[in-house]
Chain A
Amino acid sequence: MERKTVSTCPFCGVGCGIVVHTRDDRITWVDDDPANPSSRGMLCVKGRFGIPFVQHPDRLTTPLVRRDGELQPASWDEALDLVAERLLDYRGAFGSFASAKATNEDAFVQQKFVRLVMGTNNIDHCTRLCHSPSVEAMLVQLGSGATSNSYIDYEEASCLVVVGCDPDSNHPVIASRMRKAVDDHGTKLVVVNPKRIDLASRADVFLQPAPGTDVALFNGMARAILDEGLEDRGFIAARTEGFEAWRAVVMERTVEEYAQACGVDPHALRLAARLYARPPARRGLPADERPGSCLAWGMGITQHTHGTDNAHALINLALLAGQLGRPGCGISPLRGQNNVQGCGDAGCIPDSLPGYQPYRDDVVARFEEAWHAGIPREPGIKATDMVERIATGEIRAMYIVGENPLLSEPNLAHAGDLFRRLDFLVVQDLFLHETAELADVVLPACSFAEKDGTFTNSERRVQRVRQAVPRVGQSRADWEIICDLARRMAPHVGVDPGQFAYRSAADVFAEMARLTPQLRGISYERLEREGGIQWPCPSPDHPGTRYLYAQSFPRGLGKFVPVRQAAPAAELPDADYPLILNTGRVLYHWHGGTLTRRVQALLDQVSEVPVTIHPGEAERFGIADGDEVVVRSRRGRLTGRAIVTDAVRAGSVFVPFVKLRESAANFLTNNAYDEPSRIPEYKVCAVRVEKKRPRDTALTGGQPTASRDR
């Protein structure tokens, strides 16, 4: 039987609309959804061709329980009884990771379980590893941590500034919308990246700064704006505070000094500043509308030991130029996973309740009244700290849903040692990945294609996910598994099991919307009728919100935060490790590759970890394009295939963190952290690169295979 199911793509934060075609319950084709306002009929290679992982034979089909040291199949009752019994012993020493790939409903139930049944706020998710500095800086300066604009604003902007991200690889449909702005409307484009990304070919200004010098660069742009009097004085006076103190810090150095500090041309830096602050009007802009500029950034900004400073420097620029709160402008931390926005909105963060509500007495009381039990008021432990605190015994049991920290944590050998020390580990996921292999109990979860729910994309649009195929094996939706577990534990901890007796995903959403002011007006019935709705949507008659901050900021005034350039990184090159490693992603694989390396066509496209190296360095180390190479840092090593190109800066190497042929970049990266956000410094560490010798092959057992040259 042929069926079509309208749903939402499970890969990145763009949240494209997909139509899943099935025949006899098998997926045959994934089509775009022209009616989807976020993607407008576009998809990328992963959304269109990357879905077969759903029905891959590697999928977990039954619960697994460790017996005699081996993970062995068990019944749901056996597995959940065991988890319930063990977790009751660890209520004070427990931590949980939620999944930004799961639905809002999954996330909401999980945080409710952690807070209500486990009595702790130790719940977090992957935003800790990607945009926690952005969120931290936005909360301090504006009072909210979400993207302020919509994707349509990229097409309506007169200038786009794209910093420390590679939309062509990570958010391809956003890249398409940006290219459309440039091609169709003459929108000016500024690209800032140590790597010459594809989008740079269309840029009016391309700045290629030395890694880790972003504060100098953005303070330099601010200085240039001030020198030329291009700041928005009306906006600064009416909408901001702290301007003078911030200005004094920026004025400490000249544009030339800033440019020298980051290794860019001062004229180009000035031009970038001018285009951002006062872009020439794009084609078709109404005469009475002020040209707007959008600022979009990624993990090139955040994954540094001064990631929060970097984000502050960017937000200062937006406040200085008044590029907020109108159509065609705004600030966009480009979110990584499909539901990273929703996972945070649903409350899977240690420092606030659903909807970013603080642990204030009145807020906590509202939740306690709704849930008929007490919840803790102390902020919980952040994800990166939970891992470190396994060593001190503060965390002894963990429950990990849809995450694979033994691929995503920095310094993986160290992280592996820590996870092995846990007393009890539960992993709930689709595949038996590196972390699951260490677990005491593994629970098989459903993929997005086998359940109902919602995802919230980067433009705050809540969109439906609909079941397209039958569940694989005995797998179950995350929220159903956790409810089943919670009902077993609730009576022992004074919680009403009825709190976990939802009938459907819609039922869960209704409770979340009731308790979360910005979602209050959204319901499944409305989503069915109107399609995706952008929060804030405070009431059932509210149409949703295209851009934030039109009138005011959640904290009242926008706040300038003075920042100075710190040391570029915790670890810099030296004689033994002479190159700087930069990490990121590759278009054909999703993150660490747990899903996409199970899609043969994607694996055919990129089957080995590509190591991109500058021609000068390649010559120095005797490496030719296509050579098999070994990259070493003080913490580990990987093998990959050399791509020699001047797209990377001299002195640097770029490796995506996908794990292919057993090589993963995070064996190399450093667990040095940015203090305010606790994000690790994935973007810079010192490495050396060598051509792989036969001895190395014997050591790893890897078989050399032909790779695609691109």
Chain B
Amino acid sequence: MKVDGRPAPESASILDAVLALGIHLPHLCKDDNLPPIGACRTCLVEADGRVVAACHTPAAGVSEVLTNSGRVVRLRREVLRLTSRMHGPEPDVAGGPRSGEIWAAYEEHGLERPTFPRRIRDGFDATSPFFEFEEQACILCARCVTACQQLQHIGAIGIAGTATAARVTPGAGATFAGSICTACGSCVAACPTHALRPKPMRDPARAGRYRRQGNGTEDG
């Protein structure tokens, strides 16, 4: 198989081959160590003339892959424009650990600001002491769902509803604090936008010292 004219190493999926060659391709719903979901369609490439999502298309049997043809770049840009309808237009400096990925994808595809009207979703869950979830930044890529279920095998988080009513939730009507979530943070680490992000680490220099409260336990 050749990718953009370069011979590619043997790989399971087209995406693996593309990344192994050091070619940058957005893959907002695909975690390096998790199976592909195929939800975001931001890794579209041309494989022997067909447009496919690179993450879950096997490399076997494919001879020619183009990541940079005019057609596929245009299609990816349209997908990213649709994605940006779900996602705020301004980069958030206090973003999640991997939130750079989506901004890099916009920039590579020449998207400065969304051309579609924003869809209003304003859920905000700050009940966990460790992280918070801001729904207006969520692109429904389901990386968090996969990390919770297929990496940690906990299943505390899912997508409820369909189509434009779909939303990420830790159980119907639940908050993270009220769910079975153990706060392992795999979802936070996986989120490619800043929808799930760690709460700012309280500056230890200003944190209260641990204080002893009474001495009542030693009296037997």
Contacts and interface: CB of A to CB of B under 8 A. Distances in A.
Contacts of B202: 52, 600-601
A605 B129 contact: yes
Contact of B184 (A27, A48, A413, A702): A48
B182 A28 contact: no
A183 B153 contact: yes
Given A29-B97, A601-B129, A708-B177, A172 B214 contact: no
A258 interface: no
A284 interface: no
Interface in A1-53: 21, 27-29, 31-32, 34, 40-45, 48-49, 52
A52 B220 contact: no
Contact of A57 (B129, B204, B214, B215): B204
A56 interface: yes
Contacts of B207: 52, 56-57, 600
A700 B218 CA distance: 10
Interface in B182-220: 182-186, 188-189, 198-199, 201-202, 204-205, 207-210, 212-220
B205 A57 contact: yes
Place the interface of chain A in its size category.
Answer: 35 or more
B82 interface: no
A157 interface: no
A66 interface: no
Most chain-B CB neighbours within 10 Å: which of A48, A667, A700?
Answer: A48
B151 A41 contact: yes
Contact of B216 (A168, A635, A701): A701
B32 interface: yes
B130 interface: yes
A573 interface: no
B184 A662 contact: no
Contact of B201 (A27, A43, A57): A27
A591 interface: no
A702 B219 CA distance: 14
A701 B211 CA distance: 13
A597 B214 CA distance: 16
Given A31-B97, A667-B218, A42 B201 contact: no
Nearest to B218: A413
B33 interface: yes
Interface stretch (A142-150, A216-224, A636-644): A636-644
B127 to A, nearest CB: 10
A699 interface: yes
Given A41-B33, A601-B130, A702 B214 contact: yes
Nearest to A598: B210
A681 B212 CA distance: 28
B43 to A, nearest CB: 18
Nearest to B180: A198
B216 A639 contact: yes
Given A29-B198, A55-B204, A57-B207, A49 B183 contact: yes
Contacts of A28: 201
A226 B184 CA distance: 43
A700 B220 contact: no
A707 interface: no
B189 A32 contact: yes
Contacts of A604: 129
Contact of B219 (A44, A587, A699): A699
Question: Taking chain B's interface residues, is the majority helix, strand, or loop, or is none over half, making it mixed?
Answer: loop
A662 B215 contact: yes
Contact of A49 (B198, B204, B205, B218): B198
A663 B218 CA distance: 9
B69 interface: no
B151 A42 contact: yes
Interface in A46-88: 48-49, 52, 55-58
A700 B169 CA distance: 42
Given A29-B97, A635-B220, A44 B182 contact: yes
B185 A703 contact: no
Nearest to A705: B213
Contacts of B183: 45, 48-49, 605
B68 interface: no
Interface string B32-53: 1100000000000000000000
A664 interface: yes
B152 interface: yes
A664 B214 contact: no
Nearest to B177: A708
Interface string A207-229: 00000000000000000000000
Contacts of A312: none
Interface string B143-179: 0000000011110000000000000000000000100
Contacts of B210: 56, 58, 597-598
A702 B216 contact: yes
A662 B216 contact: yes
B102 to A, nearest CB: 18
B205 A40 contact: no
Given A48-B185, A49-B183, A42 B152 contact: yes
B220 A56 contact: no
Given A32-B189, A52-B202, A58-B210, A45 B217 contact: no
A27 B200 CA distance: 11
B189 to A, nearest CB: 6
Contacts of A40: 33
Contacts of A635: 220
A51 B170 CA distance: 25
B156 to A, nearest CB: 12
Contacts of B182: 44-45, 168, 172, 587
Given A40-B33, A41-B33, A637 B220 contact: yes
A545 interface: no
A617 to B, nearest CB: 22
B162 to A, nearest CB: 25
A5 to B, nearest CB: 15
A670 to B, nearest CB: 13
Given A600-B202, A667-B217, A44 B151 contact: no
A179 B150 CA distance: 10
Interface string A687-710: 000000000100111110000100
7 contacts: A42-B151, A43-B184, A45-B130, A55-B204, A601-B130, A639-B217, A700-B214
Interface of A: 21, 27-29, 31-32, 34, 40-45, 48-49, 52, 55-58, 168, 172, 176, 179-180, 183, 412-413, 416, 587, 597-598, 600-602, 604-605, 635-639, 661-664, 667, 696, 699-703, 708
Given A42-B151, A56-B204, 7 more contacts: A41-B33, A49-B130, A57-B209, A176-B151, A600-B129, A601-B199, A604-B129
